[in-house]
Amino acid sequence: MRRLGLHFGLIVVSVVVLLPPLWVLRTSLVPESLSYSTDLLPTVTFKNYASLFASNRFGAYYLNSVVVSLGSVLLALPFAATTGYAFARFCTGGAVARFVVLATQMLPPVAIVLPVFTFFRTVGLTNSVPGLTIAYAALNLPFLIWILMGFFEGIPVDLEWAAMCDGATAWGAFWRIVLPVSLPGIAAAGVLGFILAWNEFLFALVLTGPSTATVPVALAALQTSNGVQIAKVSAGVVLAVLPLVVASRFIQRFIVQGLTFGSVK
Amino acid sequence: MASIELDRVSKAYANGAYGVRDVDLSIADGEFVIFLGPSGCGKSTTLRLIAGLESATSGALKIGGVDVTGVPPRHRNIAVVFQSYALYPHMSVRQNMAFGLKMRRAPAAEIARKVDEAAGLLGLSAYLDRKPAALSGGQRQRVALGRAIVRDPQAFLLDEPLSNLDAQLRAEMRLELIKLHRRLGRTVVHVTHDQVEAMTMGDRIVIMRDGRVIQVGRPLEVYADPADTFVASFLATPPMNLLPGRVEAAGDGVVVHIADTTIAAPSRCVPAYAPWAGRQVIVGLRPEDLHEAPNDPSYRPLELEIVAIEALGVENIVIGQTVGGESREVAARLNRRWSASIGARVTLWIDPQPIHLFDPETTRLIPRPPIG
C-alpha cells in the first residue's frame, strides 16, 4: 500500500515536471490555430519549424549561437586550464587571486553589461559574432577556472613528480601527463561552458544586432506587439533545447567520472 | 659514481614546522640504505629532497660528488618509484617504460631494446601493450620498477614501494628487489615503515623521528644496540619490553631489580652499569630473550599473569602482566607447543646476556660492550 502511494506521488511529481516541456513540444507540432486548444495532438505539422527558418531567419541565429558558444569555450578553455593548474599546483597569487577570480562571478550581469558595451563599441566589437564570443569567453572564464582547479587538485601530484624525474619540465609534465589524464574533466567543463553561453540572453541582447543575434534573442523577438507567436516560440524553444539535451547526456557521464576521479588510487 | 651526501640538510615550512632537520648522512656508491620511521618522521621528505622534488631550506646535497642544490629532478639522473607507482594511466606499459628515454631523446631502436630488456627481467613482456588499469598491484609495481631500470639512473629512490602489496606478494617482491640490487649494483635509498623490510633488505638502516636522524647503522647492529627506547621499541614486533628497574651494586658486580626479580648484570656490562648503582633505569628485554625454561644457570625467573596468547603457528606470542611491584605488560616469544590458560600465573626465564639499560631521563641506551 505504501509503495502504491509512493509510486502515485512520484507519478504526480513527474507529470508536474515533465508536462510543461512536453506541452511546448506538442504546441510546436500543431497548427497555430490549435495552439491554445486542450486537445493533446489533433494533427501533426512541421509548418511552425519551416516558418521559423523561412520568415524569421532562425537558421542564421542558430548558426550564430553555435559559433559563439563553441568559440567562447575553445577560447576560454586553454586559459582556464593553465590558470586552474597554476592555482591547484603552485597556489599562484595565493588566496587573494582565487578570491578575485571567484568575486567576478558574484557581479550581476546587469552591472557589467553596459561598461562592456561601451568598451566594445570603442574597439568596434559590437554587433559582431567575434565580439560576443570574446565576451562569453571572459564571462565564463572564472567558472571554468574554478571547475578545472578542482579537477587538477584531484590528480595525484605523484604523476607529475614521476614525469619530472623521468626528464620532463614542469610544463612538459602538464602537457604530456596532466592534460591527457584530465580530459574528462576538461570535456565536462567545456560542455558546461557551452550550455552557459548558449543560454545567455542579456549580453547577446545588448551586444548583437539584427544579423548577429543568437537563439535566446531570436526567441524573445517572437514576442511582438501583436502578441506572442506561441507556435513559433514553441518550435524555437524545442530547437534551442535540443543541443543542451545532447550536451547534458554527454556531460552526465563525464561529470560522474570527473567527480570520482581523485578518489581512485 | 653515485654516492649521496646530505650535509646538515633541513627543510622548514612557512608555518615554522620542520619536515627534516639537520640530516647528516653519507651513502656510498652502490649501497642499499633503508630509511625507517613512523608516519610523519620525514623519511619521504628526505627522499624528495634527494630527488629534487622539494628544495632544502638549508644544508648541502651532493649526488656523485656534485652539488645538486637547485638542480631540477630531470638533471639529477635519479629514478624514483612512488608508493602509488604513479604510472601514467593514459599510456601503455611500453609507453610508460619508454617515457624517460623519450624525454631524453634516445633513438627509437635503443628505447625498444631497453624496454624489452627490462620487461624480460621483470616478467612484463606479455603485458607491454596493456594499460595500467588492466594490471594487478604486483604487476603495476613491476612496471614502476621497470620504468626506473630502463633509465639506467645513478641511484634508485624507492618511496614505500611495497606498502600497497599483500603480505605474500610483499615477501616475494622484497626478495626480487634484493636480487635486482645485487644485479644492478646501483645506489638504492628505500623508504619504509616496515621493520621486516628494514632488517632484511638494507646494508644500513637510517632511523628517523620528527624530522631527525636518530640512528644509522647495520641492521643487526642497530637491533643489538638501539640508540634509545624509541629505536628499541620501533625495530621489532612485538616491541622490546621496557620495564622500570633499579641498579644496585652487589659485591664485585651489579644487579638490576625489575618487578619481583633480580638479575645479575653480565660481567662485560659491569663497568658500564656500576656508575648507575642506586639509580632508577629503564630495563629493555626483547620478547625472544624470555624463555620457557632456564637454559642456563644465569637465567632469572619472571612471574607473569597471562593476559593473552597469540598463536601464530610458527610460535606463540604470550602477553602477561608482571606480578611484583609496578605491574607492567610484557610480551614473550615462546615455542609454539607452550600453552597456559588466560589468567594463569607462569614463570618465564630471562636471559640476562642481551639485557639493555636506558637512561630514564634521556631514554638513551647506556652503552656497554656487545655480546661475544
Whether A264 has a pLDDT exceeding 50, the answer reads no
What number is the average pLDDT over the span B282-306?
93
- The C-alpha atoms of residue B75 and residue B83 are separated, in whole angstroms, by 22
Residues B246-272 have pLDDT tens digits of 999 998 899 999 988 999 999 999 999
Q: Do A265 and B82 touch (CB under 8 A)?
A: no
Residues B123 and B156 in one domain: yes
Flag whether residue B97 sits within 8 Å of chain A, measured between CB atoms.
Answer: no
Cell numbers for B144, please give them. Answer: 614502476
B19 in a structural domain:
yes
Which residues of A touch chain B, with CB atoms under 8 Å apart? Answer: 156, 158-159, 161-169, 172, 177, 180-181, 265
Tell me the residue range of the domain where B81 lies.
Answer: 4-234
Residues A91-137 have pLDDT tens digits of 888 889 988 888 888 888 899 999 999 999 999 999 999 999 999 99
pLDDT computed for residue B241 by the predictor: 94
B331 in a structural domain:
yes
Q: Do B84 and A166 touch (CB under 8 A)?
A: no
Gap from A231 CA to chain B (nearest CA, Å): 49
- The C-alpha atoms of residue A254 and residue A258 are separated, in whole angstroms, by 6
Residues B353 and B338 in one domain: yes
Q: Strands B155-159 and B78-81: what pairing?
A: parallel
CA A136 to chain centre: 10
C-alpha torsion sign, points A34, A35, A41, A46: positive
B154 in a structural domain:
yes
Of B86, B147, B151, nearest to A161 by CB-CB distance is B86
Nearest to B31 by CA among B62, B4, B49, B8: B4
Cell numbers for B93, please give them. Answer: 606499459
Residues B8 and B152 in one domain: yes
Nearest to B48 by CA among A171, A165, A156, A152: A165
Q: Buried (b) or exposed (e) across A150-175, using 16+ Cβ within 10 A?
A: bbbebbbbbbbbbbbbbbbeeebbbe
Flag whether residue B88 sits within 8 Å of chain A, measured between CB atoms.
Answer: yes
Gap from A261 CA to chain B (nearest CA, Å): 12
B368 in a structural domain:
no
Domain stops at, among B182, B208, B234: B234
Burial of B109: CB neighbours in 10 Å, binned 0-12, 13-18, 19+: exposed
User: What is the 8-class DSSP label of residue B38?
Assistant: S
Please report, for the domain that includes residue B93, its CATH number: 3.40.50.300
Residues B134 and B20 in one domain: yes
What number is the average pLDDT over the span B352-368?
94
CA B60 to chain centre: 25
Flag whether residue B73 sits within 8 Å of chain A, measured between CB atoms.
Answer: yes
Gap from A257 CA to chain B (nearest CA, Å): 14
Reported as a pLDDT band with limits 50, 70 and 90, residue B164 is: confident
**CB within 8 A of A46, min separation 6: which ones?**
A29
Residues B206 and B71 in one domain: yes
What domains are there in chain A, each with its CATH number? 1-45 (no CATH), 54-263 (1.10.3720.10)
Whether A55 has a pLDDT exceeding 80, the answer reads no
Domain stops at, among B208, B234, B260: B234
Residues B213 and B261 in one domain: no
Cell numbers for A208, please give them. Answer: 548583437
Of B73, B74, B88, nearest to A159 by CB-CB distance is B88
Nearest to B164 by CA among B78, B49, B81: B81
pLDDT computed for residue A259 by the predictor: 54
Chain A positions touching B89 (Cβ under 8 A) are 181
- The C-alpha atoms of residue A132 and residue A140 are separated, in whole angstroms, by 12
Please report, for the domain that includes residue B254, its CATH number: 2.40.50.140
Domain stops at, among B203, B234, B265: B234
Q: Strands B280-285 and B345-350: what pairing?
A: unpaired
Question: At residue B249, what are phi and psi to the nearest 5 degrees?
Answer: -75, 145
For every residue of chain A, DSSP letters joined together read -HHHHHHHHHHHHHHHHHHHHHHHHHHHHS-GGGTT---S-S----HHHHHHHHHS-HHHHHHHHHHHHHHHHHHHHHHHHHHHHIIIII-TTHHHHHHHHHHHHHS-HHHHHHHHHHHHHHHT-TT-HHHHHHHHHHHHHHHHHHHHHHHHHHS-HHHHHHHHHTT--HHHHIIIIIHHHTHHHHHHHHHHHHHHHHH--HHHHHH--TTT--HHHHHHHTEETTEE-HHHHHHHHHHHHHHHHHHHHHHHHHHHHHHTGGG--
CA B225 to chain centre: 14
Burial of A76: CB neighbours in 10 Å, binned 0-12, 13-18, 19+: buried
Of A163, A165, A265, nearest to B79 by CB-CB distance is A165
B291 in a structural domain:
yes
Q: Buried (b) or exposed (e) across B325-355, using 16+ Cβ within 10 A?
A: eeeeebbbbbeeebeeeeeeebebbbbbeeb
Give A264 or B213, the one with higher predicted confidence. Answer: B213
Whether B66 has a pLDDT exceeding 50, the answer reads yes
Chain B positions touching A184 (Cβ under 8 A) are none
**CB within 8 A of B189, min separation 6: which ones?**
B4, B27, B33, B35, B47, B50, B155, B156, B157, B158
Residues B126 and B192 in one domain: yes
Chain A positions touching B82 (Cβ under 8 A) are 158, 161-162
Residues B122 and B250 in one domain: no
Residues B192 and B133 in one domain: yes
> What does pTM read for this prediction?
0.83
Residues B207-220 have pLDDT tens digits of 999 999 999 999 99
B371 in a structural domain:
no
C-alpha torsion sign, points A226, A228, A231, A234: positive
Range in A14-23, A222-231, B204-213 with the lowest mean pLDDT: A222-231
Q: Do B88 and A162 touch (CB under 8 A)?
A: yes
pLDDT computed for residue A262 by the predictor: 43
Residue with cell 627534516: B20
Provide the β-strand partners of residue B305. B321, B345
What number is the average pLDDT over the span B332-358?
93
Q: Buried (b) or exposed (e) across B230-253, using 16+ Cβ within 10 A?
A: bbbbbbbebbbbbbebbbbeeeee
What number is the average pLDDT over the span B335-346?
92
pLDDT computed for residue A224 by the predictor: 79
Q: Torsion over CA of B326, B329, B330 and B331, rounded to 10 degrees?
A: 180
Flag whether residue B132 sits within 8 Å of chain A, measured between CB atoms.
Answer: no
- Structural domains of chain B, count: 2
Q: What Rg do the C-alpha atoms of chain A give, in angstroms?
A: 23
Query: Chain A residue with minimal CA distance to B52?
Result: A165
- The C-alpha atoms of residue B209 and residue B42 are separated, in whole angstroms, by 7
Mutation target to probe the B interface, by most B beta carbons within 10 A, among A165, A178, A179, A181 is: A165
Residues B230 and B247 in one domain: no
pLDDT computed for residue A263 by the predictor: 42
Reported as a pLDDT band with limits 50, 70 and 90, residue A188 is: confident
**CB within 8 A of B86, min separation 6: which ones?**
A156, A158, A159, A161, A162, B144
pLDDT computed for residue B166 by the predictor: 86
Count how many pairs of residues, chain A against chain B, have C-beta atoms within 8 Å.
58
Residues B69 and B33 in one domain: yes
- The C-alpha atoms of residue A20 and residue A26 are separated, in whole angstroms, by 10
Whether A260 has a pLDDT exceeding 60, the answer reads no
B122 in a structural domain:
yes
Encoded amino acid at A82, one letter? T
Residues B222 and B102 in one domain: yes
Whether A261 has a pLDDT exceeding 80, the answer reads no
B85 in a structural domain:
yes
Q: Do B80 and A177 touch (CB under 8 A)?
A: no
Flag whether residue B99 sits within 8 Å of chain A, measured between CB atoms.
Answer: yes
